Amino acid sequence: MGDLSQNFSSREFVCHHCGALPRLDEELLQLLQRMRTRKGRPLRIVSGYRCEPHNRAVGGSKGSQHLSGRAADVPGGYADVQAWWREGAVGIGVRDGQVVHVDTRRDRKPFTFAD
C-alpha cells in the first residue's frame, strides 16, 4: 500500500540527488495508478521528481516536467505508447522503441519524443 495512491509511495518519487519531494501532480499519480491497475503488476518508478542540479546531471531539459513533479521515468517495455495515451499521458518519451518517460504537462497536445 502506498501513501500517495493505492500502489505508490512518496519514497518512489524523491529526488535521487537531494531527497526532496515537492507536491506531485495528482494527474500523474492517477495516470500511473490507472496503468498499474490495468496491467495488474508492479510499476517501478525509475525517476520521479528531480531538483535542478540532478536534472542537469542526468541531461534533462531545462523545462523538464520532472522539475515540477509532472513526470516519471518507467521501465522500458511496461506498456506501449497507445496504452499510455489511453490512460491519459500527455508527453511520452521513447528510447529504443520503448516508452521510458510519461508526463502530464499542461501546455501541449499529446506527443511523443525520442531520447
pLDDT < 70 stretches in the chain = 115
Q: 5 in a domain, yes or no? A: no
Q: Decide if 3 is inside a domain.
A: no
The total of structural domains in the chain comes to: 1
14 burial level (CB within 10 Å; 0-12, 13-18, 19+) = middle
Q: Which domain holds residue 27?
A: 10-114
Distance CA 4, CA 112 (A): 27
Q: Is residue 4 part of a domain?
A: no
Asked whether residue 75 is domain-assigned, the answer is: yes
pLDDT value for 109? 78
Q: What is the pLDDT of residues 52-84, one digit of tens each?
A: 999 999 999 999 999 999 999 999 999 999 999
In this structure, what CATH number is given to the domain that contains residue 26?
3.30.1380.10
Q: Is residue 73 part of a domain?
A: yes
Instruction: Look at the alpha carbons of 74, 76, 41, 103 in this order and tell me if their dihedral is positive or negative.
Output: positive
Q: Judge whether 2 lies within some domain.
A: no
